[in-house]
Amino acid sequence: MTGADRFEFLGEEGSLEHGWNDLGKSALWTYNLHYFDDLRKAGAADRTDWHRALIARWIAENPPAMGVGWSPYPTSLRIVNWVTWDLATGHLDIEARRSLADQAEWLARNLETHILGNHLFANLKAQIFAGCYFAGPTADRWLGNALAIFERELGEQVLDDGANFELSPMYHAIFLADLLDILALDRVFPGRIPRSAGEMIIDAAERMLGWMATMTHPDGQIAFFNDSAIGIAADFASLKEYARRVGIRPSGPRVYDGSSSSGYFRLTRGPAVVIADIAAVGPDYQPGHAHADTLSFELSVGKQRVIVNSGTSVYGTCQERHRQRSTAAHSTLELDGKNSSDVWSGFRVGRRARATLHSLFAGGAVGSHDGYRFLKGRPRHERSWALGANELVVTDTVRGDHGCAWDAIVRFHLHPDCSSERIDDCTIRIALPCGSSIIGHSNHPMAITPGTWHPRFGSSIANLRIEIAWRADGSDPRCETTFKWNPDG
């Protein structure tokens, strides 16, 4: 909140001038208006009078089951925020508590079982919070029904290696925070959550911390795979500290032996970190946060991101949303100008790339996908990464039916802090802000083109990208690109 009735969400300011369901704002901005996240933000105590007035206004101007605010997802987040605020401050008055009970009962009858995924999990978390906060048969029903589904969803939505099954580092962080919130709630209401459920949460949270460490760059922020942006979820350091406070031991990056159930891996040597994707686009029945980013990767040298994916700055069905989900917006290979997975609308995926991990070893990995099988010749993209003491070698190979050829483009998107210039047709220099440089060399001509990077919602930052185009066929199927840097970073 920036004023008594003013807000900033997703990098965009607004107010209640046009009510709680302003058609001039995006659906996501309006959802945020109904979350009441500011009750838990830093400095919230200084805004207590605003918060009290805003809650009263919300109740008066949002009759039960009417408007965006009563959609199950914002209702779920609001229930948790109101309960948490009252437990911390005692400021929720009797009228607000009555409204809170009405919201919990309405939610119990409108769980998002048609969407599943993170939406259903948020619904269940809210029912658990309401069931613990209130007392009596109704509260017991909320809690019991939620826990019965919760344990099943927890087992499905947290993979063996600790990844949330939607395979978005941002939503992974949100999900992990949800688990830590429930553990904190269990300390306030001991005995309300069965011990078996508590043990499942602890086990899942420990594994999820490990996966988040794997997917976090040395700068402390998440890698950009699928729908991911900075500033929506808590960062790894904050979640690790929260976990410590509720009794979860901290965890470092996982070292995988090739059995990673998520399909993501991390290579580290000297100052360099590679985070890469040989993964499915997400759960088959809910790939809504997927991008066409299979076999993409990000590279940091020291604390500086160098090669990146383009990130996420917008939801909805606009052209920019479609572009940000495209293969071309990621550091991977594109064939014949097509996406490796058929991302469409705002949160839909048709044909999906099926990825295969062929090998994972110290300093390297090899994987492939069949996302271009619909093209003539049924081509398959294979990529290998080999990380040495002061270099990364990325090899892209296109394999398909004999006699067929495809227009191939390998793109490496650069962090905006990095500039680049051509040395010759096949060699470029990437200048880092610290003053050092990385030399890139390929067996095909390299071009430098303008692009944009989107680290936050509502944010678009100019950057550069390296493009390597060639006609891939049986006689020339391979593009090998080497990046070399000072071994001390």
Q: Tens digit of pLDDT for each residue in 341-370?
A: 999 988 889 999 999 999 998 889 999 999
What pLDDT is stored for residue 259 in this prediction? 47
Residue 399 falls in which region: left (phi positive, over 0), alpha (psi -120 to 50) or beta: beta
- CA-CA distance, 67 to 202, in Å (whole number)? 37
Residues of the chain with pLDDT under 70: 250-259, 488-489
Contact 112, 120 (CB under 8 A): yes
Residues of the chain with CATH 2.70.98.70: 264-484
Q: How many CB atoms lie within 10 A of CB 263?
A: 21
Q: How many CB atoms lie within 10 A of CB 26?
A: 18
SS3 157: helix
CA torsion sign, 84 to 87 to 91 to 92? positive
CA distances from residue 485 to 142, 323, 411, 432 in whole angstroms, order as listed? 57, 31, 19, 10
- Under CATH, to which class is 6-245 assigned? mainly alpha
What pLDDT is stored for residue 257 in this prediction? 42
Indicate whether this model's pTM tops 0.85. Answer: yes
Q: Tens digit of pLDDT for each residue in 431-454?
A: 999 999 999 999 999 999 999 999
Torsion of CA 166, 170, 175, 181, to 10 degrees: 180
Contact 167, 262 (CB under 8 A): yes
Q: Which positions ≥6 away from 262 have C-beta within 8 Å?
A: 159, 161, 162, 163, 167, 211, 279
| CATH number corresponding to 264-484 | 2.70.98.70
Residues of the chain with CATH 1.50.10.100: 6-245
Q: Give the side-chain half-sphere CA count within 13 A for 485.
A: 28
Q: At which residue do the structure tokens 């086990």 appear? A: 203
Nearest to 96 by CA among 31, 144, 22, 104: 104
